[in-house]
Structure 1
Amino acid sequence: MFKKVLLLTIVVSNIVVGAMTTGTVAAAQMVEPAATATANNFKYGDVNMDDAVDSVDLALMKAYLLAKASTLPNITAADVTGDGTLDALDYAVLKKYLLGLITTLPADGSDKILIPHESWTCGMAAGIPKPEKGVLVFETTMKLQNSYDLGKTQYGQRKVFVVQSGSITGSKIQGSVLSGGIDFQLTLSNGAMEIEQLLMIKVNDGNYIYLRSAGTAVNENDVRMVWDFEAPNSSSYNWLNSGKYVGRRIIDSVAGTMKISVYDVSGINFTQDSTNSLIVTEPSDVPNQPWDFRKASSERNGSKFITEAVSLGGSQSVGASKRGNRNIIPITGGTVTGNLTAKILPAGADYQNLSNPMTIDARYLWQTDDGEIIIVRNGGQFGSLVPTFEVRADSKYSYLNQKLYLSSDPGGGAGGVTITFYESIK
């Protein structure tokens, strides 16, 4: 069964698709698929079943959505998004496909197991099932505080989203996503995507839960996230520390929101093969983005590069969890002086593990005086901290993408800490 819904304006991948406003709009209704829709030998998008996907199919779909036609030769083939609903989103996606803006229709792989690239396994190297096959745990729609389009960096096209807040609703969990969470989206030249997301949740009993999650996609129409929770071992939410959780992450650039949905797929068993899986591939001419922070090897401090004065918020302590004693300190601002001048944006945090040996992994953003956004990561054990950077490849700061640097330990400062970065000498 398919729902027939007319959406007058929709947003697809940050592109506003104009309304189909001519003709009489049909009321939302359930539509019985045609008998041919149950056949297995059809192509998604081939609405008229002539073994070709072309502008005729697009015209038939438009006529149906505008109630100028009461049925379609193959209504199942018209559901090119594979979400069980026939609406203007299907029309927009098919139009993008015919224009060559995308090379694969989402429905072609929506039920398949997604095999991540070996460099970005998302914690599920054997494959990520379709999230909706699992059991919904919770959803939240978060307001976005800011979004930054860095352009092409050393890894690909980079966007960064900073979360403002959001309420969580679920049968077993209620709470809020805290402001300052950060989402790193990477789009490669072949359309594949990789996502890293760091969020903090405060549940209604006052406990904190840390999420560092990864996602991937063959293209933007079927992004799958693998959620990884660190909840207090002693809390009533410690069940989140085990199990398998996957889901969706949807950006609405017009509303300025990010919606995430979390599903428990622990009960799904599968054996992937060439017939039931879709493999994420990556171009060979760009380096793989790292999951872990860089570790220095036989390096020492050279010339002083910059000094940071970092403003910090109050600690958000998870306590003992599955990976140790987790403590998060939000980054709320600050300044950078020295070989470049910048402000530190209120985003990200120092994601500390207080277990022996104690490590820090600070993730945050600089904005230079001339407006360039620079992604900063400073991680490691005390006494051996190593900063790395990501910035637009054709900017005057692109040297940060190649050169090596070392960091001092944090020192006391007014309302935060001071840190000095040095050029690295081997």
Structure 2
Amino acid sequence: MPTASAKDASQIKDTIIVEKELYGSARIPIDSYEQDQLIIALEDLISSVRVSTYVPDPSWTCFMPDGIPPPELGNEIFEISLKYSTCHDVGLTKFGQRYQYDINGGEVKGERINATILDGGLDYELVLSNGSVEVEQINIIRTKDNNTPILMRNAGVSPLREVPVRVVLDFEAPNSSSYNWLNSGKFAATRIIDTAAKTIKMKVYDISTVALTQSRTLIKDPEDVPNQTWDCVKITGRQGQSVFTENVALGNSISIGASKRGSRNIIPITGGTMSGRVNGKILSGGADYQLSGGLDARYTLETNDGEFIIVRNCGSGALIPVFETKTDGPYSYLNENKYLSSAPGMSGGGVSITFYEAE
């Protein structure tokens, strides 16, 4: 009786394996082709991703946890053009590779709204270790017809940095204004950056009647890094040793008033200094986006030795700061969520804030 043996050599065929970055791979038996006229078609993964529904990671849902359809399937209603002065390379932080675009103006153009984008806005881009991208944008709009102020805070994702970020837009307009339709709309756009012109453009579509496509692209954050958070962070403790103090310069407040999340008042941050274990200046940009008594300040520090520290200091009753800076930099200790903030105190036309270690 013959014994079992390895696969018969006659069944083994020489195979060509073709791979190209951002394309699907192919395995082709050599005897299927004329050797001098070999043509192999690969699937363009980027094209297939662009027409799929993005299902974001649960930590960064972009207001649409079930999925974000291609914006172009909706009805175009206006276009946003943001101008930026600088893109800061913050470095590899605890969340990923961080970039910050300083917005210094722009426009909103459409049939139902025409407006300007105020200076001091922010566009935060985070590139994760698996290549996916998360974006947050915070800007203030002022309409051209009656100077109505509107807060725009958007969230976006992309499965690959080579694919433009898909953004879901969220607006807070005064309930009593003619722009309150923005509060309940469902809007999405594709974020296009022109580094030569220093612009970020988005054609905005109403996707309220768009169904999710059958093709899905699941976006999953790496498991070995902490997630950035959309909401304020909460920790407990009491104030211990002082770390550093800020003297923050402020602009004129912008009152949106009663809107969909409560009463919103915005105080722009125009500069300032810090001293203590961290010395340097506060960049002009960002604001304290106060909501019904709670503070939510977003801004950036530049130290005397050239490092950037992104700050979010927020809470109702007690302020909890979250710092983000390079993990291999001299201020990496700030990345730990173990700090508390004093309440802001009046100081020289602005406010003074001291940060403490939590005990």
TM-score (norm 2): 0.86
Which residue pairs with 1:284 in the alignment? 223
For residues 4-44 of structure 1, give each alpha carbon's deviation from its aligned partner in whole angstroms, at most 9, with x where no partner exists.
xxxxxxxxxxxxxxxxxxxxxxxxxxxxxxxxxxxxxxxx9
Q: Which has the larger radius of gyration?
A: 2
Q: Is 1:360 aligned with 2:295?
A: yes
Q: Measure how far apart 1:222 and its partner are.
A: 3.7
**Which residue identity lines up with residue 342 of structure 1 in the other structure?**
G
**1:403/1:360 Cα in 2 relative to 1: closer, same or farther (>3 Å)?**
closer
Structure 2 SS opposite 1:109: helix
Which residue pairs with 1:401 in the alignment? 335
1-structure distance, mates of 2:299, 2:174: 25
Which residue pairs with 1:421 in the alignment? 355
Q: Is 1:235 aligned with 2:169?
A: no
**Partners of 1:106 and 1:222 within 8 A in 2:** no
Structure 1 SS opposite 2:120: coil
**Partners of 2:126 and 2:133 within 8 A in 1:** yes
What are the residue-to-residue correspondences of 1:110-259 with 2, within 5 Å? Answer: 110-204=50-144, 205-220=146-161, 221-259=163-201
Q: Choose the corresponding residue for 1:342, options 255, 280, 285.
A: 280
For residues 352-392 of structure 1, give each alpha carbon's deviation from its aligned partner in whole angstroms, at most 9, with x where no partner exists.
00x2xx1011000000000000001110124x111110000
2-structure distance, mates of 1:344, 1:287: 26
Structure 2 SS opposite 1:291: coil
Which residue pairs with 2:315 in the alignment? 380
1-structure distance, mates of 2:337, 2:228: 16
Which residue pairs with 2:17 in the alignment? none
**1:326/1:51 Cα in 2 relative to 1: closer, same or farther (>3 Å)?**
farther
Instruction: Please say which of residues 302-311 and 249-258 is displaced more in the overlay.
Output: 249-258
Query: Over aligned residue pairs, what C-alpha RMSD do you find?
Result: 2.2
Which residue pairs with 1:268 in the alignment? 210
Which residue pairs with 1:319 in the alignment? 257
Q: Measure how far apart 1:415 and its partner are.
A: 2.4
**Partners of 2:69 and 2:211 within 8 A in 1:** no
Aligned structure 1 segments of 4 or more residues deviating by more than 4 angstroms = 49-52, 77-80
**1:50/1:385 Cα in 2 relative to 1: closer, same or farther (>3 Å)?**
closer
**1:246/1:422 Cα in 2 relative to 1: closer, same or farther (>3 Å)?**
same
Larger strand proportion, structure 1 or 2? Answer: 2
**Which residue identity lines up with residue 320 of structure 2 in the other structure?**
V
1-structure distance, mates of 2:49, 2:83: 30
Q: Which runs of 5+ in 2 are unaligned?
A: 1-21, 30-38
**Which residue identity lines up with residue 281 of structure 1 in the other structure?**
K
2-structure distance, mates of 1:374, 1:140: 28
Q: How many residues align?
A: 326
Instruction: Please say which of residues 363-372 and 217-226 is displaced more in the overlay.
Output: 217-226
Structure 1 SS opposite 2:50: coil
2-structure distance, mates of 1:330, 1:245: 26
Q: Measure how far apart 1:258 and its partner are.
A: 1.2
Q: Measure how far apart 1:281 and its partner are.
A: 1.7
Structure 2 SS opposite 1:180: strand
Which residue pairs with 1:95 in the alignment? none
Structure 1 SS opposite 2:72: helix
1-structure distance, mates of 2:27, 2:332: 51
What are the residue-to-residue correspondences of 1:16-35 with 2, within 5 Å? Answer: none
**Partners of 1:211 and 1:228 within 8 A in 2:** yes
2-structure distance, mates of 1:237, 1:311: 31
